[in-house]
Structure 1
């Protein structure tokens, strides 16, 4: 199976190019062309091998949720002319990610297990076990790093540093909670629990928009609802659809993104497993069968679709 590690297009009218962790972003006038590659990142490092169909899953799940939430928060998306491509308006991004957590898991659990009871200025109650729900979802922002690790930051520090104005931050919080509520409801209908996620926002002509992906396996964590309570009672690991299993594989192979550590290369069996997990999430969260795009000449396919969409 062919996969996209990186792209190097020269589109008509192209004025800028930026390579993110998993997306290649082309600026054409006041629009962005985001190509979802098959790169996969963990611990803020890009793994050596791409994952076939991951970019298609990422792009199509993001499109699904952006279209399903535009009534509660305006977003940047205009069209998806190719399974791996999204085109939309260019906004000036805020330098924070709005992370919202409904359960004590992942980074929050690692901090909690280390004895901390405050995360990003938000208190976490005593007596919780891993994967327990919080009394109510908490917002734990992170600074958006150009390279390397994103850093936890409190609401108070964001306002003190002037990273976001108080007026805008209140809107970001409102949108974050509304989007998470909608995502939680949609996941529940498919037998899933939306555990935590992150949202990115930008501004254009004085208006705030959701930018980038939402509720994808790269930005979110899902538990299976069936059996959740029983697994918690027995102290068992939760069955989940997220990138956490990739992180766990890396940790088991001696890599946590720390200085001096050598990133292992995934064997074919693990690459295929990751592909299947991404496809499974798409089908579970959308209730639709995943249709694999033709991968014979992905770059040529993408180029023709983008040029055709831009006119």
Structure 2
């Protein structure tokens, strides 16, 4: 198969005109050797992180597909760290969507003068442009529409889908005594409809048990063990 994209945490290979293969790696995002799902660079390598990310991705995508929520997921092979997904068209050069339930991470770095770290907040949606050089800048619905990246209608559809999917993840974690603080998603168009793409893994979220932050590999063990 021909590699068509080299990513920070996974590589993408062409399968046919409708599907691609995602190969999960053990690299995770962070800075100075410390994991941070909000970072836009690889910060460290954690052995087994790729398999854990894929196992969680399969677990959640199977649930989302069963609920009729639109995704790109087809199947996964955990032994090979590989998933087959439908081809998607990204918005612009790619956007990321963060669903927040508590004020942590980059939210506090921006707004810490106005809110205490860890404060519970109503479900809050942020959209950022995928741009490592510019630090994944925030962008508003109006700007997305103005720049031709995403229509206002698509934005509303995306925001609603992100909230619904985030709540599914949050509820699953709650069943294990965990609290989801925030989670990062990617969306695109699959067969012309807004759909969740990419992974759903511990490397893309912050989960806590009480005041204790749960590392991605430990999160996978708690959730799927």
Taking structure 1 as the reference length, what is the TM-score of the superposition? 0.64
Find the partner of 2:53 among 24, 45, 58.
58
After superposition, the CA RMSD in angstroms is 1.8
2 CA distance for matches of 1:18 and 1:101?
29
1:88 equivalent to 2:73? Answer: no
Q: 1:132 — aligned with what?
A: 119
Q: 2:218 — aligned with what?
A: 280
2 CA distance for matches of 1:149 and 1:158?
17
How far apart are residue 177 of structure 1 and its match? 0.9
Find the partner of 2:7 among 13, 20, 24.
20
Contact 2:203 2:216 survives alignment (8 Å): no
Distance of aligned partners of 1:38 and 1:192 in 2 relative to their CA distance in 1, 3 Å threshold: same
Contact 1:72 1:175 survives alignment (8 Å): no
Q: 2:205 — aligned with what?
A: 220
After TM superposition, the structure 1 = structure 2 runs for residues 20-169 of structure 1, keeping only pairs within 5 Å, are: 20-29=7-16, 30-42=18-30, 43-47=39-43, 50-70=45-65, 71-83=67-79, 84-94=81-91, 95-113=94-112, 115=113, 126=114, 128-134=115-121, 136-145=122-131, 149-169=135-155
Taking structure 2 as the reference length, what is the TM-score of the superposition? 0.87
Q: Which runs of 5+ in 1 are unaligned?
A: 1-10, 116-125, 229-237, 242-276, 289-311
Report how many residues are paired: 212
Q: Which stretches of structure 1, 4 residues or more, deviate above 4 A after TM superposition?
A: none
Q: Which runs of 5+ in 2 are unaligned?
A: 31-38
Which of the pair has more CA radius of gyration? 1
How far apart are residue 285 of structure 1 and its match? 2.2
More strand by share: 2
1 CA distance for matches of 2:117 and 2:124?
16
- Deviation sequence 1:259-283 (CA, Å, 0-9, x none): xxxxxxxxxxxxxxxxxx4331112
Distance of aligned partners of 1:44 and 1:206 in 2 relative to their CA distance in 1, 3 Å threshold: closer
